[in-house]
Structure 1
Amino acid sequence: MWNYIETAGNIKLWDIYSKSVANFYTKLCEYINQEKSTLNKKQKNSTTSNLLDLLYNQENQEKKDNDFPYQTEELEEEKHPILSRVEGIENSFLTRVGGIKINLESADSLYHLPNKSLEAIITDPPYYGTIQYAELSDFFYVWLKLTLGDIFPDIFYQELTDKDREAVANPSRFRNMGISADELAKQDYEAKMAMAWNEAYRVLRDDGVLTVQFNHKESGAWDVLAKALIDAGFEITASWAVSTENPQNLHQAKKNSVSSTVILVCRKRDINAPQAWWDDLRPEVANQVEARAGYFEDNDITGIDLYLSAFGVALNVFSKSYPILDNTGNEVRPEVAFAEARKAIASYRFRKLLQTDTVGFDALTQWYLLAWDAFSAREFPFDEARQLALAIGGFNVNDLGREYKLIDSASGTCKLLTPQQRLKKRAFTVNPQEFKMDYLIDGLHALIAVYEEEGNLEAVRQFMKKTGLNDNDVLTKSIEVAFKVIPDSMKEKQTLINLWLGIDEIKSKVQYFQLSIDNE
């Protein structure tokens, strides 16, 4: 076990560092209040209420005395008033709280920093292709250039932002280049992240810490980030899931977005770390993930966030050795560890949802219920559907839509079909004489479809009696799990509630929902 502070537990870790941050923030607030008070005394007639407005007023006063206050010649002779004031504040602040220096540099070329000179590096790298920062920044860049271009010419020398050096996966930059634009964008992102992590390794002390904040729901993005970190010489000694995203954000709305960010604590890996075989590490990854799953849930990490939090745990094990080889001698990427972590969480969650053994549950029904449990949304990335199917096993993911009629997929996303939609696609029949339940999900959807087609409970009772579904305890258990995982806003959930309230054969067996109702 590592003898590092980050392995002692998140409470101790955050307690130590939060005190340091809080102390610094307190000093910053005290300084701003003092500076504001000083400026107010100097400008008695000013009605401005904050420091920025005071600076703006002084700028306007200077403009009255000179029609062109921003000319280069004047800047060479005398500093711009705003720049002088900013530098004065900076010097005063540094005197009060200690040395702070802000540099605008690229993470892949920290030429101003000597080797092994930093104790800690804290970074929040681009989340693969989630946000195209440079494209969005162009709107602000042009206006900032007009107002600040003469003050900071070295920053605003380009017409627009530099998109070629931006470390994001942007397929639009690689259209019509012969091979997949998505693959080229992935390679470009991985190469740029590798250069950044190599430079971080160079400037970090041997006992230093690199913390990486990452938030992405697709395992492919995690694989690229982790591979670059590991190749640069880092091991992930600990990981913590922190709730950071506001579900009310417009860019998050209706996208089953992750609400937690995983913070990876990285240190320089022992240069003598041995290679390892994946077959030896696989059970350790699964065991460690299951051991931490309950802890994550106790801290309100659920759904897709639980799966992603497990990635950090998998990396704890995976990154200790280098390289990791399969039984043919080929190097294994982090994505295999993520797949094992996903499999462990899927197994853990399904056992917990059932609260009994999983005998009698087919893989297709497990996938359907776990998809609702993980995403809490009808629509989610197709790659996530594929990864979940691989974690469960037992069927081909492409058959989810083609044969089983459970999803529709297009443009990299998939959507769970409603029972009525599946009925129209003839995934099952509601004719009692022809009905055959090959999969529990077909029985569950048939009950819902009969009620929605006929509009009365008696039709459902007769269907259950004629098909023998009223004596199927495993189907009853699947209804119980469906109550737990399907969101209240979904029509399927409302229909199930009506069936439970009106049909004694269901109500008497679905104990979990009865307890939920009574507790309310």
Structure 2
Amino acid sequence: MFYVWMRECLQGVFPDMFSRSLTDKDAEAVANPDRFTDVAGEEASKRELANQDYEQKMSDIFSELYRVLEPGGVMTVMFTHKETDAWDTLTMSLINSGFVITSTHPITSEMPQRAGMKNSASADSTLLLTGRKPHEERDPENAVPTLWSDVEADTRKAAKEAARDLLESGVSLTKTDVIISAFGPTLRVFADAYPVVDDQDEEVPPRKALETAREAVTQILVDEYLEGMDVDNLDDITEWYILCWLVHEAETFSYDDGRQLGLGIGVDIDEIKRSTKTWRKSRGDISLRGHDGRVQNINEKPEDRSSRLPVDPDDLSFPRSLDAVHAAMHVYDKRGETETIEWLRERNFDSDSQFKATLKALLQVLPHNHEDWELARDLAVGRTSDVLDLDFSPNVFAEDGDETKQSTLGGH
């Protein structure tokens, strides 16, 4: 679209640049694995070749911008991607071309309801990332390496400060965009220290800094939104499930985002997919499962129940707190309040702190129109509340507000 209008206006001024009726797709800087179907092999996959091609083209673009700028000159990049691989590539391209990352500013430019944005890898907000051509040339290839152990603490600190500043500013961004917005200051720390190596003298890529930033900001979000909660005390899979709902505020989101959240707490989401049924793939994205997609039907005979569902509500103990809470929801839904009270007491969930913490967390992260939230609410405030004795702020049961609406350009 942009090319068509630019050609209409500028063809007379730059005839060579606008000689084509459409853009040159081969020269376009995009990471498209489909372009490398015929050349991929054992040494490099389609995705790896696409990323290499994208990084090289972006480096060429930034190098040309670097060449024409005077020392001290400024370049601003508008970036809406949220996958770590894309940020890793962007950072290396900037570093290779010589730019110094000086500032980042989150704004909202994308409308999530427009065609092409739904289920895309773009963030709802845009990050304006500013790079400056230094007055003194830098030579990254001959620079003295910095140990990652010396950079990690500064990386974590920069991410936390950026997240706190955004949360305190009153700007209405989604929690995902709070994480993305912290990438800029994090990458500035990394770029200033580049090249970065580990204790084995192996080069550390920018993605390591981004993973650290994601972990740090996620903890800030837990402290901010999960009142009185310490999810670190829960089992890893339950913690991952809760964090996914907290950060993404939706049951479907980017696979890469879910994988990164898992890595941060030691969960390989691909390994747990089949055995726990906590999530499924939906068009390449993650879709979280509720209790009805995980718990066997208690009203059926044991021999008639689906073996594909991992949670048996008749069990007296469960390997994960999430399994226990989902089973309780199922029993409440199928058998009612009185039998659920007996079920809870038989399994000592009336004194199980992790069961209570999981139920309380789900009440705080699930959308109020979700069936699981309604069942969690009923468990927390019905006659079962006398058994569980949960302590809640009134805000937990308030109607969903405008908390997740996006900020606008005017808000900045």
Normalising by the residue count of structure 1, what TM-score does the alignment of the two structures yield?
A: 0.66
Q: Is the CA contact (8 Å cut-off) linking 1:476 and 1:506 kept in structure 2?
A: no
Q: Is the CA contact (8 Å cut-off) linking 1:234 and 1:319 kept in structure 2?
A: no
Q: Is the CA contact (8 Å cut-off) linking 2:295 and 2:312 kept in structure 1?
A: yes
Q: Is the CA contact (8 Å cut-off) linking 2:156 and 2:213 kept in structure 1?
A: yes
Q: Is the CA contact (8 Å cut-off) linking 2:106 and 2:125 kept in structure 1?
A: yes
Q: Match of 2:321?
A: 440
Q: CA RMSD in A?
A: 2.9
1:469 to 345, 349, 371: 349
The total of aligned residue pairs comes to 377
1:220 maps to 2:90: no
Equivalent position SS for 2:71:
strand
Q: How far 1:162 moved relative to its partner?
A: 1.1
Q: Match of 2:392?
A: 511
C-alpha change, 1:514 and 1:500, in structure 2 (3 Å) is farther
Q: How far 1:251 moved relative to its partner?
A: 2.5
Q: How far 1:506 moved relative to its partner?
A: 6.9
Q: Match of 1:248?
A: 113
Q: How far 1:248 moved relative to its partner?
A: 3.0
Q: How far 1:339 moved relative to its partner?
A: 0.8
Q: How far apart are the structure 2 equivalents of 1:278 and 1:331?
A: 9
Q: How far apart are the structure 1 equivalents of 2:120 and 2:59?
A: 30
Q: Deviations over 1:33-58 (max 9, x none)?
A: xxxxxxxxxxxxxxxxxxxxxxxxxx
Q: How far 1:436 moved relative to its partner?
A: 1.4
C-alpha change, 1:264 and 1:340, in structure 2 (3 Å) is same
Unmatched runs of 5 consecutive residues or more in structure 1:
1-132
Q: How far apart are the structure 1 equivalents of 2:256 and 2:196?
A: 25
In structure 2, give the amino acid aligned to 1:477.
Answer: A
| 1:37-186 correspondence runs (5 A) | 154=16, 157-158=19-20, 160-179=22-41, 180-186=45-51
Higher CA-based Rg? 1
In structure 2, give the amino acid aligned to 1:430.
Answer: P
Q: Match of 1:197?
A: 62
C-alpha change, 1:199 and 1:148, in structure 2 (3 Å) is closer
Q: How far apart are the structure 2 equivalents of 1:421 and 1:154?
A: 58
Q: Is the CA contact (8 Å cut-off) linking 1:190 and 1:228 kept in structure 2?
A: yes
Q: Match of 1:382?
A: 255
Q: Deviations over 1:145-173 (max 9, x none)?
A: 8x998998646533543111111122222
Equivalent position SS for 1:258:
strand
1:323 maps to 2:209: no
1:402 maps to 2:282: no
Q: How far apart are the structure 2 equivalents of 1:178 and 1:245?
A: 34
Q: How far apart are the structure 1 equivalents of 2:92 and 2:283?
A: 27
Q: How far apart are the structure 1 equivalents of 2:342 and 2:333?
A: 15
1:362 to 219, 235, 242: 235
Q: Is the CA contact (8 Å cut-off) linking 2:242 and 2:361 kept in structure 1?
A: yes
Q: Match of 1:457?
A: 337
Q: How far 1:218 moved relative to its partner?
A: 0.7
Q: How far 1:399 moved relative to its partner?
A: 2.2
C-alpha change, 1:256 and 1:457, in structure 2 (3 Å) is farther
Normalising by the residue count of structure 2, what TM-score does the alignment of the two structures yield?
A: 0.82
Q: How far apart are the structure 2 equivalents of 1:309 and 1:519?
A: 24
Q: How far apart are the structure 2 equivalents of 1:242 and 1:169?
A: 24
